[in-house]
Amino acid sequence: MKTLAFDVYGTLVDPLRISEALRHLVGESAAEIASLWRAKQLEYAFRRGLMRQYADFGRCTADALTFALEASSVSLEDADRQWLLQCYQALEPFADVVPALQSLRHQGIRCVAFSNGPVSDLEALLGHAGVLDLLDDLVSVDEIKTFKPDPAVYNYLVARSGSRHHDCWLVSGNAWDLIGARNAGLNAVWVKRSETALYDPWGGAPDIEVPDLLALAAQLSVQGG
């Protein structure tokens, strides 16, 4: 069975949209802090994976927020920090996500979320975004206690989905994630949401490149799934 595994942060929802919540607390520096927060969130996950010092993605997110605020010389009360972390579980989906998933499900394609986030966080986030019921499963790296792009997490995805490596497609807006998937023998769909986005010059090009998920759904429909 063909499986489409959708990365969550950066593919189904936009983590940089947290700048809208940040703006209420930090003003004009919101976008800069949001960008640093996201960068450090990923860095901390990479480092913990390499060090074999696992802590879930929520911990990485909270620690990254602390760093981003301190680096920006911003001091917030604990209640405000907690509010920001709660807002992170209420990010809105990209506009194409719901109609694209509806189309893919109508085509009979198995669609799962595949994320660094723990299942409880994914349930809250994707439930709020209105996409939880459009997914066949939620696959989290938390279940094997390491992070993307460790090959173990992509192999776990294949096993969990009941698919085979050559029938399993990672759909992501994050090039590093796709390179990790290709390294483990999966197929890669790059959602290039920005014309200025660059794909890493190593690790192999993606198998498919689309500007959004609706374009992917249309392409698969023409190909017969």
Residues involved in catalysis: 7
DSSP code per residue over 73-138 = T----HHHHHHHHHHGGGPPBPTTHHHHHHHHHHTT-EEEEEESS-HHHHHHHHHHHT-GGG-SEE
How many angstroms separate the first and last alpha carbons of the chain? 11
Cα(160)–Cα(180) distance, integer angstroms:
18
What is the C-alpha separation between 126 and 181, in angstroms, rounded? Answer: 22
